[in-house]
Amino acid sequence: MNLQDLSRVMVEELGALCPTPGDRMRPVRNLAVEEDIEGWLGPDEVAVTSRQELDQAFLAGAAGAGAPAVLWRKGGEPTPETLERAEACGLGVILVPPAVPLRKLFSVFSGDEGLLLLSHGTGRTLLESAGGGVTLEDLTGRISELLGRSVVVEDPVGRFIAGDGATLRPALEELDLRASKATSIDETRRERRDRYARLPDGYLSVPVERWRVGDREFFWTPVGAGAPAGYLWVDLDGGHLTPEDVVLLYWARRVLESELGKERIRLETELGVRGDFVDDLVNGHYGSVDLLLQRARYLGADLSEGGLVVVVDIDDFARYLERRKPKEPAIQELKRRLADAVRLQTRQLFSNFLLGPRSDNVILFLGSSESERPEELPERAQLLAKAVQRYVKGLLPDLTISVGIGRYKKDPALLPDAYSEAGVALEIGHRIHGPSSVSTFEGTGTYKLLFRVLQENPEELEAFYAETLEPVVAYDSRYGTELVQTMITYLGNDASTVRTAGDLFAHRHTIRYRLDRVGELTGLDVDKSEDRERLTLGIKAMQLLGRVPQRPSSFSDR
């Protein structure tokens, strides 16, 4: 330790004053209490005295013995003359209240109490290492050096963004371990452990979670309180955490929280810029196409050959907010984590893309490149949708997402239309298939025609539904029958009674009876192709309007 560390401990923890700092970088080996014997003070030892005055002979003797400072146990202020004499001898002066017992002064150099000095020294070292042009990788390397262990930093969405790449990181990647997705790791037994390092007048604790996977153990600690700014993994193959490790981790968490916070601000600013661009693009307020392409290039995407749009949307987000009632910071954190998750998964499949958050969804513009030809984009977009759903399920288990995919548009001026198509696919998919749907505009068939009617003239679609399937839905809702499901299965089987009976585990005469009952209720004959077409459209209108039978099926006809 040096004189600066000792002075800081005395001032902050013991209420001392330091009117004369001395040479702050001078090493300090120990404290020595003044005695009336020769050789009581050795080199690099701080002289401890209770003298009423520090005369010239005492100060000169202390300096001559190699002391960096005098620790003066005296009440009141020293005279300016005394301080001038100390400075002339090159000595620092630390004033400690006489009520502080000697054992507390010496405790900073002995046993576990020495952790206090370690704490201040570590804090100074890491704080001086942070900021400026120092990267997160540099800071993580410094933490690893101080701990003497491999460490890895994980961000809130499961990316390893800094740390050892030789041992710990490959093991975590091989086992797919992420602190941000703890609930998705079934094979891991998690145990919570708080370890404490005792300091004078209090305790310092660092939360450490231990995971056992097979015959291996992994340890991590969250960075930041509340919603973590990230996670710090520590390799403990060389032994368990010591009190010294806990002190080091305490400061590592504090410094990393600051650095990760800066990165979060940068990302949020970037997301804001991207969000503004996406808003202008989808609303057609981007000016000229050249300006559109210029802004896209500034954000790292080449849309000169057009692109395909994907909309990732949180299912029933309003209901989630009503049920959970989170505060605004928690809502914004959730949206940010969703955007980060989508970006992470997209980066693994696409090299040319632009992402922007909007309200409760995330919009992706996927451009073509040398490795991603236009004809490959739709299929790759569906792979991306499934990957995002799986990832979000582990990251945010309380939420589900649906995905809508538009058609590829070669002309950049048609990108707003591509967004509209993705939005239509998303809405239709959610209405028909419910939460966690993945729908493409090309796959919506006649649904998109009826959906357009619903948007432009909902009364007309309501009227068509009333003329076709509404009596059947009302009958099912009242009696708990299976007429609607039977009709859907029958039409899906190309009007085959035998196949429908097999799918519904019912006798074909029962199926025939149900179909006749549909005819009685609607006035439409299922054996006529024109009437079957009207019933098919009626089913689709029912699904778009959300008018499925309300009561659960009883698997019995009345």
SS3 sequence, 110-149?
Answer: CHHHHHHHHHHHHHHHHHHHCCCCCCHHHHHHHHHHHHCC
Query: What's the CATH number where 366 sits?
Result: 3.30.70.270
Whose tokens are 């605004």? That residue is 328
Q: What is the pLDDT of residue 341?
A: 87
Determine, yes or no, domain membership for 270.
no
Determine, yes or no, domain membership for 557.
no
Determine, yes or no, domain membership for 14.
yes
Q: Could you tell me if 331 and 359 lie in one domain?
A: yes
**What pairing do the DSSP bridges indicate for beta strands 30-33 and 45-49?**
parallel
| Rounded Cα–Cα distance for residues 215 and 55 (Å) | 66
Length of the chain: 558
**What pairing do the DSSP bridges indicate for beta strands 151-154 and 353-358?**
unpaired
Q: What is the pLDDT of residue 238?
A: 60
Q: What is the pLDDT of residue 95?
A: 93
Query: What's the CATH number where 40 sits?
Result: 3.40.1390.20
| Rounded Cα–Cα distance for residues 540 and 551 (Å) | 19
Backbone angles phi, psi at 138, to 5 degrees: -65, -45
Backbone angles phi, psi at 231, to 5 degrees: -145, 145
Count structural domains, the chain. 4
Boundary (domain end) residue, out of 384, 413, 440: 440
Determine, yes or no, domain membership for 448.
no
Q: How far is CA 453 from CA 27, 321, 420, 421, 464, in A?
A: 82, 31, 15, 15, 11
The separation between the first and the last C-alpha atoms of the chain, rounded to the nearest angstrom, is 89
Boundary (domain end) residue, out of 200, 231, 264: 264
Q: Could you tell me if 48 and 169 lie in one domain?
A: no
Boundary (domain end) residue, out of 109, 132, 149: 109
Q: Could you tell me if 289 and 332 lie in one domain?
A: yes
Q: Could you tell me if 345 and 380 lie in one domain?
A: yes
Q: Could you tell me if 347 and 431 lie in one domain?
A: yes
Q: Could you tell me if 200 and 128 lie in one domain?
A: yes
Q: Which residues of the chain have pLDDT under 50?
A: 112-113, 184-202, 552-558
Q: Could you tell me if 99 and 44 lie in one domain?
A: yes
Q: Could you tell me if 123 and 230 lie in one domain?
A: yes
C-alpha closest to that of 359 among 271, 228, 297: 271
Determine, yes or no, domain membership for 226.
yes
CA 477 distance to own-chain centroid: 44
Task: Residue 298: give the domain boundaries.
Answer: 283-440
Q: What is the pLDDT of residue 165?
A: 65
State the Cα torsion 256-261-266-268 to the nearest 10°: 140
Determine, yes or no, domain membership for 129.
yes
| Rounded Cα–Cα distance for residues 237 and 379 (Å) | 44
Determine, yes or no, domain membership for 299.
yes
**What pairing do the DSSP bridges indicate for beta strands 160-163 and 92-96?**
unpaired
Q: Could you tell me if 97 and 57 lie in one domain?
A: yes
